[in-house]
Amino acid sequence: MKNISLIGMPGSGKTTIGRVLSKKLGMKFIDLDRYIEEKAQMKITRIFEMYGEDYFRNIESHSLLDVLDTENTVISTGGGIVTREENMIFLKKKTIIFYIKRDLDIIINNVRFDNRPLLKDKNNLYKLFEKRSMLYEKYCDYAIVNDASIYDAVDKIIKILQED
Ligand SMILES: Nc1ncnc2c1ncn2[C@@H]1O[C@H](COP(=O)(O)OP(=O)(O)OP(=O)(O)O)[C@@H](O)[C@H]1O
Ligand SMILES: O=C(O)C1=C[C@@H](O)[C@@H](O)[C@H](O)C1
Ligand SMILES: [Mg+2]
């Protein structure tokens, strides 16, 4: 099976959906944020604090190259993966890209804001969305509305894969 990647706003459900999807399809699962934290031996928040966003984006791009050297894997990306075009060109080549869309107000009410350094201020989520929603739409192969249960979103993805 071709690799699958999930993109979308912070808190939209990429990690949770990716994990369940990979189990259902018998595929491996990699969460890029967790991969980075293990590689750097540091929490993402700490990387941002100590070295800044640019440095994090460099690690993120390198880590993406590492994890895409694989097959039969579901990869949940970080919310900012779309901020570098090179990441998306590479993801497009190696994966089927699903954009996980979740209502911003629901995200704000449900998500934990610790360990999400760009979400310190809730208004920032709206600003990020303004900048990024066009990019998510542009780069995805399919958009999945995550407006019911996690299992519902997973089933939508599996249905598309079966029809593909
Ligand atoms: N359809 C859903 N129903 C109930 N809870 C959901 C749903 N989708 C996501 N959540 C919850 O929202 C929270 C954020 O989800 P998750 O961590 O998977 O998002 P993410 O896209 O990986 O975020 P980040 O980009 O910050 O890593 C989790 O607590 C998750 O359980
Ligand atoms: O939206 C973003 O830019 C980010 C989202 C998280 O998944 C992490 O990758 C990091 O906190 C940056
Ligand atoms: Mg995640």
Distance 17 CA to ligand 1 centre (A): 8
Strand partners, 154: none
- 46-71: per-residue pLDDT in tens? 999 999 999 999 999 999 999 999 89
Annotated binding residue 141: no
Backbone phi, then psi, for 110, in 5-degree steps? -110, -25
Query: Domain-by-domain residue ranges, the chain?
Result: 3-163
Annotated binding residue 26: no
Ion ligand 3: residues, Cβ under 5 Å: 14-15
pTM confidence score = 0.96
Tell me which CATH code domain 3-163 carries.
Answer: 3.40.50.300
Q: CA 47 to CA 2: how far, in whole Å?
A: 32
Predicted confidence (pLDDT) at residue 145 exceeds the cutoff of 80: yes
- Dihedral angle over CA of 74, 78, 82, 88, nearest 10: -30
**Is 13:99 a contact under the CB 8 Å cutoff?**
no
Enumerate residues lining ligand 1, CB below 6 A.
8, 10-16, 33, 76, 78-79, 110-111, 116, 146, 149-150, 153
Quick one: which ligand is closest to 36's CA?
Answer: 2
ipTM: 0.97
- Residue 42 DSSP code: S
